[in-house]
């Protein structure tokens, strides 16, 4: 069973949970949880469903935690250089994640446009499915993928209202 290091920390957007591989890659990240217990439960659920064991805690000064803190304060954090685990994804899912990761701060792209850029022009619904399963939001900014008819869904805590909050914050700070 693989071992993952964990972190729990609070931000202005609620409690966050972080799982890191021993290769120093982000395996999973959640944010916006109401309390520490819910954030920890998300860690345990992920570990169990991915046949992993929670090992040691990551230090509060972990570079990723610092990036998240800067981002929620409204700083233009891109998460560039943050390494994430994508080995468990299919080739199509990796292409989608690569396209989404390139969407700039304060920008959006439709599900259909992501599908086009990922080489699957009629796969907008499949893109939505990939976004719902994104284990590393903010790093792979699925909140920046919107429906052609409006904002679309969001699977993070507080759903669409969190997506709107992130997009408004980025839009306000993008100039």
Residue 175, pLDDT score: 65
Q: What domains sit in the chain, N to C, each tagged with a CATH number?
A: 2-72 (3.30.160), 91-173 (1.10.10.10)
Exactly one of 142, 146, 156, 167 is catalytic; name it.
Answer: 142
Portion of the chain with pLDDT greater than 90, in percent:
70
Q: Where are the alpha helices (DSSP H) in 102-158?
A: 111-117, 124-132
Residue 96, pLDDT score: 98
What is the Cα Rg of the chain in Å? 16
Name the strand (E) or helix (H) holding 155.
none
Rounded to two decimals, what is the model's pTM? 0.91
Torsion sign, CA atoms 6, 25, 28, 107 = positive
Averaged pLDDT for residues 166-175: 87
- 10 Å CB burial of residue 40 (0-12, 13-18, 19+) is middle
118, pLDDT greater than 90:
yes
Residue 55, pLDDT score: 82
d(CA 25, CA 84): 5
Q: How is 37-50 classified by DSSP, letter by letter?
A: HHHHHHHHHHHHHT
Residue 127, pLDDT score: 97
142 is catalytic: yes
Name every residue whose Cβ is closer than 8 Å to that of residue 52 and which is 6 or more positions away in sequence.
1, 2, 3, 4, 19, 27, 46
């Amino acid at each position: 069973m693989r071992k993952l290091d964990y972190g729990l920390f609070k931000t202005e957007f609620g409690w966050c949970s972080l799982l890191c591989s021993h290769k120093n890659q982000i395996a999973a990240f959640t944010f916006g949880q109401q309390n520490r217990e819910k954030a920890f439960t998300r860690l345990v659920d992920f570990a169990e469903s991915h046949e992993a064991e929670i090992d040691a805690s990551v230090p509060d000064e972990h570079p990723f935690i610092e990036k998240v803190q800067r981002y929620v304060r409204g700083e233009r954090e891109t998460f560039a250089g943050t390494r994430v685990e994508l080995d468990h994804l299919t080739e199509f899912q990796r292409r989608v994640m690569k396209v989404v990761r390139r969407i700039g701060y304060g920008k959006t792209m439709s599900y259909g446009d992501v599908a086009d850029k990922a080489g699957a022009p009629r796969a907008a619904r499949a893109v939505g499915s990939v976004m719902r399963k994104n284990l590393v939001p903010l790093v792979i900014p699925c909140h920046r993928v919107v429906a052609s008819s409006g904002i679309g869904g969001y699977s993070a805590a507080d759903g669409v209202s969190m997506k709107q909050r992130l997009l408004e914050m980025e839009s306000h700070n993008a100039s």
